[in-house]
Amino acid sequence: MDAYESVIMTCSSYSVSLLIPILSLGVSLSGFAQTQDLLEKGTLDAFREVELWRGVEKAEAVEGKCEFVLGGEGKVLVNASSRGEKAPYLMTKEEFGDVKIELEFMVPKNSNAGVYVMGRYEVQILDSFGRERFGSGDLGGIYQRWDPTLPKDEQGFGGIKPKVNAAKAPGEWQTMEIVFRAPRFDESGKKYRDATFEKVMVNGQLVQENASTGGHTRSAPFEGDAATGPIAIQGDHGPIAIRSYKVTPLADPDEVRINELDAYWAEVSRSVNEGDFEGYSATCHPKGVIVSGNKKLSYPLSQALARWEKDFTETKSGKVKSSVEFRFSLRYGDATTAYEKGMFCYTQELEGKEPTKEYIDLEALLVKEADGWKIMMEYQKGALTQAEWDALKP
């Protein structure tokens, strides 16, 4: 097998013995995040010390008024009985980055509140029931940003209106689910990715999808961007009752993707080393392409597979011994696409001959489908040296 044209890549320096069982069993690599019920132990136990917020047994909206009738002591979290009570922000003790938030809440007529993820980025809560015209200040909107140094009519900017008005009538219990991704920073502290609301659902309807804020929203308790922060509920704009409040820390999707790809490359490596042609073929996309920098051409991966089958048979029989090791310098992507740049070392030993090593410059594009990651393009750019290989740490 000619390494320069035929190896679809390999395993990284991660342990192959650990990664292959994970892949073969189909176990998710996204981590086992623990959902936290913030009202389970006590209404205020999960929150920073605060005034006015308390737990009641029941809360009922007064028809036609921005008021609650409250009764007893219990686990329904409330900030006020009327708009006249100005409660401060209710902040979690714990700080979160990537997180899923699930709320069951109720507001009376014309009431106003909000969920400030990381204390900076607000999803609006408002009595928006029945509105045909709605904007970023309505229920499920990403609230606008604010810059007082701009001309007066430009100070409020940004903001993302909900896709639909999913509001129920005041006094009815409603649901909100937020899937949030924190901003990302490089080693110098420079932000390279904005905070993003991956998904916001209100009463079972999608109202936001992949909505980026650009920065903290208006009236946020904290300014600027950060990697983590508390979740805050606005308490001074009107009454709100919350009877369920759950948060689930989420794994970094970049780490999830890289873990999955490490398992993918481990499976590719195993199939090459063992001469498993069927296993190797399963890692390739039917419309995959190989690009040869040496020959300055590209051709379908399916053609290459047909030519390589004999080499796999010889490896399986023991006539040829092969091994591959893979190192990356860049690994970009999202949940379903990936760009991988690095190099691989391919070692081949023909029967009765000394082993040979080749170091190849590599770029690869992959897509994730229902049955896992598949390589779409492998670009073997050219030969490199052992010194360059040694400089690229595993």
**Which CATH number covers residue 186?**
2.60.120.560
Structure tokens at 382: 């050219």
Among candidate residues 111, 137, 107, the one with its CA nearest the CA of residue 122: 137
pLDDT at residue number 48: 96
If asked whether residues 66 and 21 sit together in one domain, one would say: no
Strand ranges for 87-240 from DSSP E = 90-91, 99-106, 112-117, 121-126, 145-146, 156-157, 174-181, 184-185, 191-193, 196-202, 205-212, 232-233
**CA distance linking residue 345 with residue 362, whole number of Å:** 10
Give me the CATH number covering residue 379: 3.10.450.50
Which phi and psi (to 5°) does residue 381 adopt? -75, -35
**CA distance linking residue 377 with residue 53, whole number of Å:** 57
- Distance, CA of 317 to chain centre: 44
If asked whether residues 303 and 168 sit together in one domain, one would say: no
Structure tokens at 206: 């999608």
Find out whether 301 and 288 touch, Cβ atoms under 8 Å.
yes
If asked whether residues 258 and 307 sit together in one domain, one would say: yes
Question: Which residue in the block uniquely carries the two structure tokens 């998710």?
Answer: 28
If asked whether residues 181 and 209 sit together in one domain, one would say: yes
pLDDT at residue number 389: 95
**CA distance linking residue 317 with residue 234, whole number of Å:** 69
If asked whether residues 333 and 372 sit together in one domain, one would say: yes
If asked whether residues 194 and 300 sit together in one domain, one would say: no
**CA distance linking residue 243 with residue 99, whole number of Å:** 20
If asked whether residues 152 and 283 sit together in one domain, one would say: no
**CA distance linking residue 143 with residue 116, whole number of Å:** 10
pLDDT at residue number 239: 96
If asked whether residues 259 and 243 sit together in one domain, one would say: no
Sort strands 68-78 and 241-249 into parallel, antiparallel or unpaired.
antiparallel
pLDDT at residue number 204: 97
**CA distance linking residue 355 with residue 142, whole number of Å:** 61
Structure tokens at 373: 């990651």
Q: Over its length of 394 residues, how does the chain's per-residue pLDDT go in tens digits?
A: 344 444 433 333 333 333 333 333 333 434 447 999 999 988 899 999 999 999 999 999 999 999 999 999 999 999 999 988 999 999 999 999 999 999 999 999 999 999 999 999 999 999 999 999 999 999 999 999 998 999 988 898 889 999 999 999 999 999 999 999 999 999 899 999 999 999 999 999 999 999 998 999 999 999 999 999 999 999 999 999 999 999 999 999 999 999 999 999 999 999 989 999 999 999 999 999 999 999 999 999 999 999 989 989 998 998 888 888 899 999 999 989 999 999 999 988 888 888 999 999 999 999 999 999 999 999 999 999 999 999 998 7
pLDDT at residue number 200: 98
Which of 220, 250, 280 is the endpoint of a domain?
250
pLDDT at residue number 2: 43
Which of 250, 282, 315 is the endpoint of a domain?
250
If asked whether residues 73 and 186 sit together in one domain, one would say: yes
Among candidate residues 377, 364, 366, the one with its CA nearest the CA of residue 336: 366
Task: Compute the radius of gyration of the chain from its Cα atoms.
Answer: 28
CA-to-CA separations, 141 to 174, 233, 287, in angstroms, rounded: 15, 15, 41
Which of 199, 231, 250 is the endpoint of a domain?
250
**CA distance linking residue 71 with residue 58, whole number of Å:** 5
If asked whether residues 246 and 261 sit together in one domain, one would say: no
If asked whether residues 245 and 340 sit together in one domain, one would say: no
Among candidate residues 217, 215, 218, the one with its CA nearest the CA of residue 226: 215
Number of domains into which the chain is organized: 2
- What region does 379 belong to: left with phi over 0, alpha with psi -120 to 50, or beta? beta
If asked whether residues 72 and 184 sit together in one domain, one would say: yes
Cβ atoms within 10 A of the Cβ of 16, count?
A: 18
Domain of residue 144, residue span: 36-250
- Helix ranges (H only) for 241-363 are 253-274, 277-281, 301-317
